[in-house]
Amino acid sequence: MPQIEHESSAETNPESEWFGARRVKPEEKTLLVQNVFASVAWRYDLMNDVMSAGLHRFFKNRLVALMNPKAGQNILDVAGGTGDIALRCARRTHGKARIVVCDLNPAMLEAGRAKMTGEKGVSSIEWMTGNAETLPLPDGSVDTYSIAYGLRNVTHIDRALREAARVLRPGGHFYCLEFTSGVRRGLKPLFDAYCRIVMPPLGQWITKDGGAYRYLAESIRKFPDQPALAKRIDAAGFGETQWVNLLGGIAVIHSARRPGLPSAR
């Protein structure tokens, strides 16, 4: 795989200079995002249920169904936070896959481990603190890479995509579930209004941090639409890139494959 170049982030990663609608230095953004999730970690799951009226569960179920995890696989869930994707994968594989949850925020990982207490078949889940841009894993060590609602918060998206390609074995699969700016035209004004007007007060009420959810709403508007993200996934070294729109493009699952030997799916 090609080495990460130290290119101008403004040229290839324009989102690195924005924390929501506020212009910042890239190194500031990483810290600010960490602070957001440290603030909301222990009420993050509750907020997801309230904010989406439970739809986030449907979106995650669709993602894991597409991933089709199998016993014996090495599965990496990046920005995996409280472990929703990992738990679904563990249930589908009856605890017989190696599943690693990697997240930059220790508070989110702690909340995830606590949530797993009493769950069966989760002993195969490992919890790892790490940055999506510099994953602490060897080349070609992962069968399936997933990132759900996390790529939008990465400082340098292109670096994270190249890291995904690096850790995947030839033929391995990449999956990204995200909110994007590419919502169907008839729904977009309503979705934008919901993000702008409803999300911050809800966040203040439930997590006592309306600012965190103001940032998250703003980050959706700045995230690439479906074709733009697909182009960046291809540029990171992937092939067979495609996407599936959920609920008119409010959520989108991008998938791709690292070129190489045929994968057993």
Q: How confident is the model at residue 244 (pLDDT cuts 50, 70, 90)?
A: very high
Considering only residues 184 and 62, tell me which one the structure prediction assigns the higher pLDDT.
62
Domains held by the chain: number: 1
Q: What is the percentage of the chain residues whose pLDDT exceeds 70?
A: 88
Q: Where are the alpha helices (DSSP H) in the chain?
A: 9-12, 26-40, 44-52, 55-67, 84-92, 106-115, 157-167, 188-193, 199-207, 210-222, 226-235
CA angle 152, 108, 229 (to 5 degrees): 15
For all residues of the chain together, what is the average pLDDT? 84
The winner for highest mean pLDDT among 107-111, 160-164, 194-198 is 160-164
- pLDDT(2) > 60: no
- Lowest mean pLDDT across 50-54, 129-133, 143-147: 50-54
| Inter-residue contact 161 to 13 (CB < 8 Å) | no
Tell whether 43 is covered by a domain: yes
| CA proximity to 51, closest of 212, 185, 186 | 212
User: Quick one: pLDDT at residue 99?
Assistant: 96
DSSP class of 11: H
User: Quick one: pLDDT at residue 188?
Assistant: 79
Tokens of 46: 């509750």
Burial class (CB in 10 A: 0-12, 13-18, 19+), 28: middle
Tell whether 264 is covered by a domain: no
CB neighbours of residue 163 within 10 Å: 24
Cα 259 from Cα 261, distance rounded (Å): 7
| Inter-residue contact 219 to 36 (CB < 8 Å) | no
Determine the structural domain holding residue 178 and report its residue range. 9-257
- pLDDT(157) > 90: yes
165-220 confidence digits (pLDDT tens): 999 999 999 999 998 877 878 787 787 777 777 777 776 776 676 677 677 777 78
Tell whether 116 is covered by a domain: yes
Burial class (CB in 10 A: 0-12, 13-18, 19+), 140: middle
Tell whether 265 is covered by a domain: no
- pLDDT(264) > 60: no
Considering only residues 265 and 36, tell me which one the structure prediction assigns the higher pLDDT.
36
Tell whether 1 is covered by a domain: no
Considering only residues 13 and 151, tell me which one the structure prediction assigns the higher pLDDT.
151
Tell whether 79 is covered by a domain: yes
User: Between the CA of residue 186 and those of 51, 189, 247, 249, what are the distances in Å?
Assistant: 21, 7, 12, 11
Tell whether 262 is covered by a domain: no
User: Quick one: pLDDT at residue 9?
Assistant: 38
Tell whether 52 is covered by a domain: yes
Q: What is the percentage of the chain residues whose pLDDT exceeds 90?
A: 49
The CATH number of residue 32's host domain is: 3.40.50.150
Q: Amino acid identity of 210?
A: G
- pLDDT(65) > 80: yes
Considering only residues 212 and 109, tell me which one the structure prediction assigns the higher pLDDT.
109
